[in-house]
Amino acid sequence: MLDGFIRVAAASPKVRVGDVDYNVSQTVEFAKKAADNDCAVAVFPELGLTGYTCGDLFLQNALLDKAIEGLYDLAEQTADLNTVIIAGLPFVLSGKLYNVAAVIHQGDIIGIVPKQNIPNYSEFYELRHFMPFEDDGIVMTDDDICFGRAVFSCDGFSFAVEICEDLWVATSPSVDYVKSGAEIIFNLSCSDEIIGKAKFRRDLVKMQSAKLMAAYVYCDAGLGESTQDLVFAGHNLIAENGKILSESKRFANDNDDDAIIYADIDLERIEADRRRSNTFAADNTGYYGVDIIEFDAEFPDITPQRKISRTPFVPKSKDDLAARCEDILSMQAAGLYTRLKAINCSKAVIGLSGGLDSTLALIVTIHAFDKLGLDRKNIIAITMPGFGTTARTKNNSINIAEEYGCTLREIPISESVTQHFKDIGHDIDVHDVTYENSQARERTQILMDVANQEGGIVIGTGDLSELALGWATYNGDHMSMYGVNCSIPKTLVRYLVSYESTRTADVNPSLSKALADIVATPVSPELLPPTEDGKISQKTEETVGPYELHDFFLYYMIRYGFTPSKIYRMALTAFDGTYDADTIYKWEETFLRRFFAQQFKRSCVPDGPKVGTVSLSPRGDWRMPSDASRNVWLDDLKTVKE
């Protein structure tokens, strides 16, 4: 199972109510489709071998006997498929009739799971025919098949099954199943359609997967069950930890491609979330009245077909992005608001470079001051032109400070840094790290001293991506009194500034224009002299690599603990057509080397608000020794070249 990816399917073939032979043939047809698509597990609707809407026909021996015959026919006809099949049927045990799901693999009936919660309200009257299963664990049928509450384990992962109403009740069986180690829950359902139910169903599946930290595969009955008073739509859903991965088109024709959906579940992602949450208790022993059924299976490695976003920190939907930007700015401002109020401080000092990070820091400070009811003139924005400052960035700094109504100060640093070079005996024509860092430290000294003069605090501008790479001058821009951007990655900074530009377009076109130009400016510390025509010569991404790649590496390494080799293969998919394999490898190796080497800078960063799931604060989410070896991670990355 390469990288923990496994493909699952939910299929709603055409059903003829009461026609078991036909229903079995349709199930076999879709099972073969799933197998041809390298699917490990395929689930079918509730009572799919007979049809759900049989009514009192469920009390007829002819139908019940035929259902058992159909079960064995299904097992025999799929014996050559390397796909687990989960199908629904009525089943008699010890004189009681149960609504069950049968788990089948390569001709063997591995186990039978009964429905535990039997609805008998509104349009449902299942208690007329079926008994609820209320025992713990499993018993054996006359044919020595495991029957009862069970988790199935094979090929390094575990799954469980519940049936329709089991999801809708307050205490779903799936709660016990995940506590017993199940990572995927399959639900066989026959849920009729009424107005508003589709959204409720979608939200329910999504939230159940989030609550369980699991994948949830929901398979609904299709049009063939639409008889007499009810309509069924075949609303299939596959969710993973709160996110819908795949959803069928409702009211699709039973035999077209819309009748089966697929998704590639990332089991390692599920396991990572469970590991990091100490309140999630899974013991894998069946302690919760659930038995573990193990069987042999080996599924093919797959190349995941799920879409992998290039920018995992950024929502895909424009509407979601706007709402997310507003939330983030509000959280950043709330953190600064609280700090200013707690220390009874009414002034802030910010170094404005005309770049993205300092612009975002100013935007956040504006929001905080407005929330506090403080005069924006108490925000002292300082532009400090040096050897590499261009007219474009300097003018943008001035423009946004003036348009926001801040106090603007210009303090050139060239003279003071030149004197410093004389003091330490450094040749000004040698453009090395000393040449660059001396400028950064001079700027920080100015900001700190002005803050002392004014009785204010220095607002940090550095972002999460720079912290990860160590792309900051130690005790230079690395330091401040409160870092508002500390958990904002560079890819998200750009969207936040763009959002502010759009938001202010109508009320302040000049400000909006300046913000838009800042977004379009190449990322640069501007510590080296500009080109002859006055343009930026030092472009950060040419030195350390593209931030969209580094943010990708950062997200999956810190959020889920994925191996470098898995992250590399995911990046190949996500950035297909943008970066070739060698480029991705080069910059991931750079990321790993820098991430480990620069931990000492992260060990002493200033306070700042956590706004996302990834943070590198040594007081919060990330505790790492500064001298840890990186060899294990680099060696794992090398395996992709073998």
* Residue 54 bears catalytic tag: no
Determine how β-strand 41-43 pairs with β-strand 5-11. parallel
Of the residues 39, 154, 164, 345, which is catalytic? 164
- C-alpha 278: how far from its chain's center? 19
How far apart are the C-alpha atoms of 637 and 642, rounded to whole Å? Answer: 10
What lies within 8 Å, CB to CB, of 280 at 6+ separation is 213, 273, 274
Structure tokens at 320: 């979601």
More confident residue, 132 or 316: 132
Chain segment 113-148, per-residue pLDDT in tens: 999 999 887 777 889 999 999 888 899 999 999 999
More confident residue, 632 or 191: 632
Contact yes or no for 374/537 (Cβ under 8 A) = no
Contact yes or no for 409/382 (Cβ under 8 A) = yes
Among 102, 106, 22, 118, residue whose Cα is nearest residue 68 = 102
Model confidence at 523: pLDDT above 90: no
Of the residues 14, 33, 66, 115, which is catalytic? 115
Determine how β-strand 482-483 pairs with β-strand 243-247. unpaired
Chain segment 342-377, per-residue pLDDT in tens: 999 999 999 999 999 999 999 999 999 999 999 999
How far apart are the C-alpha atoms of 571 and 585, rounded to whole Å? Answer: 9
What lies within 8 Å, CB to CB, of 445 at 6+ separation is none
How far apart are the C-alpha atoms of 235 and 230, rounded to whole Å? Answer: 15
Q: Give the helix/strand (H/E) hosting 264.
A: strand 260-266
Structure tokens at 494: 């750009």
HEC letters along 2-63:
HHHEEEEEEECCCCCCCCHHHHHHHHHHHHHHHHHCCCCEEECCCCCCCCCCCHHHHHCHHH
Model confidence at 253: pLDDT above 70: no
How far apart are the C-alpha atoms of 257 and 605, rounded to whole Å? Answer: 53
pLDDT band at 246 (very low <50, low <70, confident <90, very high): very high
Q: Within 10 Å of residue 23's Cβ, how many Cβ atoms?
A: 28
Average pLDDT of the chain, as a whole number? 93
The C-alpha angle 551, 480, 339, rounded to 5 degrees, equals 100
Model confidence at 37: pLDDT above 80: yes
Of the residues 33, 39, 46, 548, which is catalytic? 46
List b or e across 449-480, with b for residues whose CB sees 16 or more CB atoms inside 10 angstroms.
ebbeebebbbbbbbbbbbbbbbbbbeebbbbb
Contact yes or no for 233/257 (Cβ under 8 A) = no
306 DSSP assignment: S
Contact yes or no for 232/190 (Cβ under 8 A) = yes
Chain segment 450-485, per-residue pLDDT in tens: 999 999 999 999 999 999 999 999 999 999 999 999
Structure tokens at 243: 């996110």
More confident residue, 436 or 123: 436
Radius of gyration of the chain (CA): 30
* Residue 164 bears catalytic tag: yes
How far apart are the C-alpha atoms of 178 and 283, rounded to whole Å? Answer: 9
pLDDT band at 169 (very low <50, low <70, confident <90, very high): very high
Model confidence at 283: pLDDT above 80: no
Distances (CA, A) of 84 to 8, 111, 239, 264, 528: 9, 11, 19, 15, 62
pLDDT band at 284 (very low <50, low <70, confident <90, very high): low
Structure tokens at 531: 């080109």
**Chosen CATH of 318-641 out of 3.40.50.2300, 3.40.228.10, 3.40.50.620, 3.40.1210.10:** 3.40.50.620
249 DSSP assignment: P
Q: What is the pLDDT of residue 179?
A: 93
Distances (CA, A) of 604 to 144, 288, 349, 481, 601: 63, 45, 21, 12, 6
Q: Within 10 Å of residue 580's Cβ, how many Cβ atoms?
A: 12
* Residue 345 bears catalytic tag: no
Q: Where are the domains of the chain?
A: 2-279, 318-641
How far apart are the C-alpha atoms of 379 and 450, rounded to whole Å? Answer: 12
Q: What is the pLDDT of residue 485?
A: 97
Residue type present at position 353: S
Q: What is the pLDDT of residue 166?
A: 95
Q: Give the helix/strand (H/E) hosting 449.
A: helix 433-454
Largest CA distance in the chain: 101
Model confidence at 288: pLDDT above 90: no
What lies within 8 Å, CB to CB, of 36 at 6+ separation is none
Chain segment 94-111, per-residue pLDDT in tens: 999 999 999 999 999 999
Model confidence at 532: pLDDT above 90: no
- What is the CATH architecture of 2-279? 4-Layer Sandwich (3.60)
More confident residue, 216 or 541: 216
Beta bridge partners of 315: none
Q: What is the pLDDT of residue 561?
A: 95
pLDDT band at 26 (very low <50, low <70, confident <90, very high): very high
pLDDT band at 69 (very low <50, low <70, confident <90, very high): very high
Report, as an integer, the average pLDDT of 577-594: 97
Q: Within 10 Å of residue 481's Cβ, how many Cβ atoms?
A: 19
